[in-house]
């Protein structure tokens, strides 16, 4: 039975969904779901499943899916400790935010991101606005939202399989108050989840006693608190001023959102794009719930409703993913003109033309001036037909090259990579998949697409790719990103695909021996931990571990989790590792367990028949322009520590070959010297001095020969720390000194290297003026939070400004080196192949007879990749395995 039926509603309700709460609940409800490359999908799966169930069971007409935006809200300005106890969002959850948003919109829901206020405030504001027009159903679990309950406003909270429906009458009966006084009540008892103190030692029972004596509002309490018994008055009196602040924190704003109801009308989903999205994240169970065509849905292609429903009328505008057709248009839409072609002779003449290209399982869709061509012939034939075209707009050149090397014959200057262009324009977005980009063609508020989509058929594919290019071409040009895309990023793609296909060899015997060794140590540590605990327990269970550490062994607990539980995170255990031998064992256990589960067990299972491992290089993953890799991730293979060298020694050259590993030496500090023109840095690098010793000598007023090892280490910490935006507090922790000493150390550093401070200030002031920073190659990063009134956000934006210029330029330089190495004729003649890039390091594999020459040539290419004010230095080693070559 639908909610509408259960609530006995005669009018279609508007549903307001707390998307942020649903996202968190979905993430923690199931933690074992991920894509084959390890990308987490548990939250995506659960959120979309909940929304599909709503479409199926409720057949809604108007739904708003609201999520918190970035940055602080007015509550942080009122009370700087608001939610200060909450830990940062887990990275696996943060990774899923953008995919969830994409999926929500693909399902036809209106997504609203709140800024300056929380999504809960918007929900209450919209409930207040809409309740006179129609019923409002709030789908949320935050108790603060109960203050919105009214005769026409309901709240539905879902916890697992249990559902609770809150109504005005039910609230009055249970709580003994009106929803309007709920914030007053919450102000007294506080909210540990939001770090709102409330009155100490006043819980719900005591708060009710207080209001029974004084009246139900804080104003009543202020005027009548002298009526309270002495014991209660002593609790209340010191907090009389504070509780009014606490009420401001718990009271929802009802004047922050003024959005027309029609904006939240459910749209007909684009099921083709939705299928592609679900394929991308390998959510096969959800895919089976979606019809196979945007135009119609067969009865077998969707989940049947539990109860037959009448088909919605066109006038009602009700749309459903599950079998209902979209409302008929007043004017029938002309069919899309598509020509099916299987032989190259049937293709049109593409010479001098701009072409949209989309690769699908059924072939290639090409868009040319409003006409779609569906080509089912070979890629090689299509490449020949497109050889003289002007520009080819496609979602991913990398995907084309991965699928068939014939695409390598297209000149890099002919490609317009849509995902790459979108990434360069907005490197913070995280989601550049074609379904997401295609959807933006039809979004309101995107004026760049208004002209190109005027005559674009909704089912267009190749024509949609062409339209998207024409929509953003102007933005790419005005942002001066054309040279970066044309001369660096697109030419880099063949190098990335070449490395992916080449792969790197691994020694399966060494992996097995390493795994056996680690497994033996884990067994030994398990016995030791159980002996220390005096009882059997699940070491991987945080809850059981907390009981052992803090209850059984009486170790003083450190910080708590967001849910109030005692934390057993590594950073907490590091602080108490001297309290009991078990803590050190647990830290070692976790380190070895990660080594086993992340590398030693899974990697050998991923090799091809030649025992070579093939990763995917991600060009669109970081805001600074650095590359990442996945399926598997080879960027984070351990290098240092007890097991780093042994881990890298498991990566080897094939029979008859050797590896040459070339690594930029202190490239970021050299970039800093180039941009800042600091005399001390310039002189040190030009004279090939040890930069950390030179810095230590400046800071201690010693000659380089007099510098002690600890002094050099401290100088190294601050040299690199400043690039990454290290503050005084972190520097103090890293150097194990007091904050006052760290502050003096930082001041002395900038006094001795005075040009650096001026350069950092220039980066920030330029970014504040223009809204972005740029790297050596012209890469941009927008930094709107530089103008934030929240000091924490503004400080983070300043750190990002400096970090992006330095790290981003270092990323530009190694990409330049990769492009040059991939196309270098000398390396090719030596039989050398570029096979791996990790941070500032490139690795080539070549026959033993030629490896020294290949390594020397690679060093030459890397040192000449960019013209800086100081030399680029490269360290190179040659060996059979990566560990010895590094």
What are the sequence ranges of the domains in the chain?
1-169+260-293, 176-252, 338-479, 508-605, 669-806
Task: Please answer whether residues 383 and 398 qualify as being in contact, where contact means their C-beta atoms are separated by less than 8 angstroms.
Answer: no
* Cα–Cα distance, 684 to 694 (Å, whole number): 7
Tokens linked to 665: 């030496």
Res 256 pLDDT > 60: yes
Q: What is the pLDDT of residues 525-536, one digit of tens each?
A: 999 999 999 998
Whether 855 contacts 876, CB under 8 Å: yes
Give me the mean pLDDT over the 68-75 stretch.
Answer: 81
Q: Quote the DSSP letter at residue 560.
A: B
CA dist., res. 50 & res. 756, Å (int): 53
Cα–Cα dist 549/580, whole Å: 9
Q: Higher model confidence: residue 183 or residue 570?
A: 183
* Calpha distance 637→213 (Å, rounded): 65
CA distance 509 to 649: 12
Q: Is the pLDDT reported for residue 53 higher than 70?
A: yes
| Torsion-angle region of 120 (φ positive above 0: left; ψ -120 to 50: alpha; else: beta) | alpha
Among 3.40.630.30, 3.40.50.720, 3.10.110.10, 3.40.50.1010, name the CATH number for the domain at 1-169+260-293.
3.40.50.1010
The answer on pLDDT for 209 being more than 60 is yes
Task: Work out whether strand 153-159 and strand 136-139 pair parallel, antiparallel, or are unpaired.
Answer: parallel
pLDDT in tens, 25-41: 888 776 668 888 888 89
Both tokens assigned to 730: 């972190």
**Strand segments (E) across 115-263:** 136-139, 153-159, 162-166
Residue 866 has φ and ψ, to the nearest 5°, of -145, 150
The reported pLDDT for the residue numbered 795 is 80
Check residue 493 and give its pLDDT: 97
Read off φ and ψ for residue 151, nearest 5 degrees.
-60, -25
User: What is the model's pLDDT at position 310?
Assistant: 36
Neighbours of 809 (CB within 10 A): 25
DSSP for 756-806, please give it.
HHHHHHHHHHHHHHHSEEE-TT--EEE-GGGG-SSHHHHHHHHHHHHHHHH
Domain range 176-252, its CATH number among 1.20.1250.20, 1.10.150.120, 2.40.50.140, 1.10.150.20: 1.10.150.20
> In CATH, which superfamily holds the domain spanning 508-605?
Taq DNA Polymerase; Chain T, domain 4 (1.20.1060.10)
pLDDT for 1 = 62
pLDDT tens for 54-69 read 888 888 999 999 998 8
Residue 728 clears pLDDT 90, i.e. is over it? no
Kindly state the helix (H) or strand (E) to which residue 415 belongs, with its residue range. strand 415-417
Q: Is the pLDDT of residue 220 over 70?
A: yes
- Determine the average pLDDT of the residues in 94-121: 90
pLDDT at 295: 39
Count of other CB atoms within 10 angstroms of residue 692:
22
**CB atoms closer than 10 angstroms to residue 12:** 18
Distance CA 261, CA 62 (A): 8
Q: Given this model, what pLDDT does residue 323 score?
A: 41
Residue 31: the pLDDT is 65
Q: Any idea what DSSP says for residue 849?
A: G
pLDDT tens digits for range 753-766: 888 888 988 999 99
Q: Which residues of 394-403 are buried (b: 16+ CB within 10 A; e: fewer)?
A: bbbbbbbbbe
Q: Reduced to 3 DSSP states, what percent helix, strand and coil does the chain have, rounded to the nearest 5? A: 50, 15, 35
Give which of 261, 301, 309 is closest to 56, Cα–Cα.
309
* Average pLDDT over every residue of 768-795: 84
Quote the CA–CA distance of 501 and 845 in Å, as a whole number.
Answer: 13
Q: Which CATH superfamily hosts domain 669-806?
A: 5' to 3' exonuclease, C-terminal subdomain (1.10.150.20)
pLDDT tops 60 at residue 456:
yes
3-class DSSP assignment, residue 52 = helix
**Model confidence at 334: pLDDT above 70:** no
The backbone torsions φ and ψ at residue 721, rounded to the nearest 5 degrees and listed phi first, read -60, -40
Q: What is the largest CA-CA distance in the chain?
A: 97
CA torsion angle 399 401 407 411 (round to 10): 90
Res 726 pLDDT > 80 = no
**pLDDT higher than threshold 50 for residue 796:** yes
**CA dist 484 to 198, 694, 775, 863, 872, Å?**
55, 35, 10, 20, 21
Q: What is the pLDDT of residue 335?
A: 65
Task: Please count the other Cβ atoms lying within 10 Å of the Cβ belonging to residue 147.
Answer: 24
* CA pair distance 458, 447, nearest whole angstrom: 18
Looking at residue 116, what is its pLDDT? 77
CA distances from 738 to 574, 744, 745, 806, 814 (A): 19, 10, 11, 28, 38
Report how many helices (DSSP H) and strands (DSSP E) the chain contains, helices first: 38, 23
Q: Is the pLDDT of residue 2 over 80?
A: no
Structure confidence at residue 725 as a pLDDT band (50, 70, 90): low
Which of the four pLDDT bands, split at 50, 70 and 90, describes residue 291? low
Q: Calculate mean pLDDT across residues 875-881.
A: 95
State residue 798's pLDDT score. 86
DSSP for 668-714? HHHHHHHHH--HHHHHHHHTT--HHHHHHHHHHT--GGG--HHHHHH
Residue 24's H or E segment, with its range, is helix 19-29
pLDDT tens across 657-709, in order?
A: 999 999 999 999 999 999 999 888 899 899 998 889 988 888 888 888 888 88
> Looking at 239-248, 446-455, 830-839, which range is the least confident one?
446-455
Handedness of CA 21, 24, 25, 26 (dihedral sign): positive
Residue 177 DSSP SS3? coil
442 pLDDT above the threshold of 90? no
What integer pLDDT is reported at residue 695 of this predicted model?
85
Q: Which helix (H) or strand (E) holds 383?
A: helix 379-386
Rounded CA-CA distance 774/522 in Å is 47
Terminal-to-terminal C-alpha distance of the chain: 65
Q: How confident is the model at residue 161 (pLDDT cuts 50, 70, 90)?
A: low
- Location of structure tokens 């890397």: 862
- Same-fold call for 176-252 versus 508-605: no
Task: Mention every residue, 6+ apart, whose C-beta is less than 8 A from residue 462.
Answer: 355, 356, 357, 358, 364, 365, 366, 367, 368, 372, 373
Peptide bond into 632 cis (omega under 30): yes
Residue 458 is predicted with a pLDDT of 82
**From CA 713, how far away is CA 707, in angstroms rounded?**
10
Name the average pLDDT for the chain. 86
How much is the average pLDDT of 125-140?
Answer: 91
């Amino acid at each position: 039975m639908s909610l509408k039926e259960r609530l006995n509603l005669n009018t279609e309700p508007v549903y307001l969904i707390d998307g942020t709460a649903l996202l968190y609940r979905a993430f923690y409800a199931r933690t074992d779901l991920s894509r084959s490359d390890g990308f987490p999908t548990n939250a995506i799966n659960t959120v979309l499943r909940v929304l599909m169930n709503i479409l199926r069971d409720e057949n809604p007409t108007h739904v708003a899916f609201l999520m918190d935006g970035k940055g602080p809200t007015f509550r942080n300005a009122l009370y700087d400790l608001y939610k200060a106890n909450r830990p940062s969002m887990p990275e696996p959850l943060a990774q899923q935010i953008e995919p969830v948003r994409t999926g929500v919109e693909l399902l036809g829901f209106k997504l609203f991101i709140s800024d300056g206020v929380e999504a809960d405030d918007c929900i209450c504001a919209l409930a207040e606005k809409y309740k006179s027009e129609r019923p409002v159903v709030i789908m949320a679990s935050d108790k603060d939202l109960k203050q919105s309950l009214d005769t026409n406003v309901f709240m539905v909270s879902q916890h697992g399989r249990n559902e609770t429906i809150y109504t005005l009458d039910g609230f009055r009966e249970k709580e003994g108050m009106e929803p309007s006084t709920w914030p007053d009540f919450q102000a007294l008892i506080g909210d540990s989840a939001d770090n709102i103190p409330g009155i100490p030692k006043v819980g719900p029972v005591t708060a009710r006693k207080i209001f029974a004596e004084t009246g139900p509002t804080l104003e009543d309490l202020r005027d009548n608190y002298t009526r309270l018994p002495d014991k209660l008055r002593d609790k209340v009196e010191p907090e009389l001023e504070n509780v009014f602040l606490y009420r401001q924190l718990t009271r929802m704003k009802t004047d922050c959102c003024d959005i027309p109801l029609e904006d939240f009308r459910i749209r007909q989903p684009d099921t083709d794009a939705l299928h592609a999205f679900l394929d991308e994240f390998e959510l096969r169970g959800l895919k089976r719930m979606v019809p196979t065509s945007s135009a119609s849905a067969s009865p077998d292609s969707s989940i049947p409703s539990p109860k037959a429903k009448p088909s919605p009328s066109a006038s009602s505008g009700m749309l459903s993913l599950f079998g209902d057709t979209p409302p008929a248009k007043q004017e029938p839409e002309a069919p899309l003109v598509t020509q099916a072609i299987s032989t190259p002779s049937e293709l049109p003449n593409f010479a001098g033309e701009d072409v949209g290209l989309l690769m699908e399982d059924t072939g290639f869709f090409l868009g040319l001036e409003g006409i779609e061509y569906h080509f089912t012939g070979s890629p090689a034939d299509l490449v020949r037909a497109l050889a003289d075209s002007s520009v080819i707009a496609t979602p991913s050149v990398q995907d084309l090259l991965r699928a068939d090397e014939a695409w390598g014959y297209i000149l890099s200057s002919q490609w317009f990579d849509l995902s790459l262009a979108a990434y360069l324009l907005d490197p913070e977005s995280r989601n550049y998949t074609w379904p997401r980009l295609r959807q933006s063609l039809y979004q309101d508020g995107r004026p760049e697409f208004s002209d190109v989509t005027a005559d674009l058929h909704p089912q267009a594919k190749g024509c949609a790719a062409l339209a998207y290019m024409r929509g953003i071409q102007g933005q790419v040009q005005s942002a001066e990103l054309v040279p970066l895309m044309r001369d660096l990023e697109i030419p880099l793609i063949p190098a990335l695909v070449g490395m992916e296909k080449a792969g790197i060899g691994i020694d399966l015997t060494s992996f097995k021996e390493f795994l056996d060794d680690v497994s033996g140590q884990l067994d030994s540590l398990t016995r030791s931990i159980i002996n220390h605990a005096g009882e059997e327990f699940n070491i991987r269970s945080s809850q059981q571990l907390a009981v052992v550490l803090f209850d059984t062994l009486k170790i003083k607990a450190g910080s708590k989790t967001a849910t109030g539980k005692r934390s057993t995170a590594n950073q907490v255990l590091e602080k108490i590792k001297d309290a009991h031998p078990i803590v050190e064992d647990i830290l070692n256990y976790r380190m070895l367990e990660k080594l086993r589960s992340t590398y030693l067990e899974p990697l050998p299972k991923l090799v091809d028949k030649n025992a070579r491992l093939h990763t995917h290089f991600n060009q669109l993953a970081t805001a600074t322009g650095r590359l990442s890799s996945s399926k598997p991730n080879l960027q984070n293979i351990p290098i240092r520590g007890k097991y780093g060298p042994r881990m890298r020694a498991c990566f080897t050259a094939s029979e008859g070959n050797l590896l040459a590993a070339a690594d930029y030496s202190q490239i970021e500090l050299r970039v800093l010297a180039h941009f800042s023109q600091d005399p001390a840095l310039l002189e040190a690098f030009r004279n090939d001095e040890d930069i950390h010793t030179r810095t230590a000598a400046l800071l201690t007023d010693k000659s380089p020969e007099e510098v002690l090892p600890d002094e050099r280490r401290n100088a190294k910490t601050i040299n690199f720390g400043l690039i990454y935006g290290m503050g005084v507090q972190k520097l103090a922790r890293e150097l194990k000194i007091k904050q006052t000493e760290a502050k003096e150390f930082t001041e002395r550093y900038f006094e001795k290297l005075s040009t650096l401070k001026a350069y950092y200030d220039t980066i920030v002031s330029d970014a504040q003026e223009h809204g972005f920073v740029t790297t050596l190659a012209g890469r941009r990063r927008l930094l709107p939070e530089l103008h934030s009134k929240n000091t924490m956000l503004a400080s983070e934006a300043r750190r990002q400004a400096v970090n992006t210029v330095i790290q981003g330029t270092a990323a530009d330089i190694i990409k330049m080196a990769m492009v040059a190495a991939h196309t270098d004729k000398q390396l090719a003649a030596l039989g050398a192949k570029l096979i791996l890039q990790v941070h500032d390091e490139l690795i080539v594999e070549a026959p033993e007879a030629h490896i020294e020459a290949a390594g020397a040539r690679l060093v030459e290419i890397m040192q000449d990749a960019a013209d800086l004010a100081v030399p680029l230095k490269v360290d190179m080693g040659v060996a059979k395995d990566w560990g010895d070559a590094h």
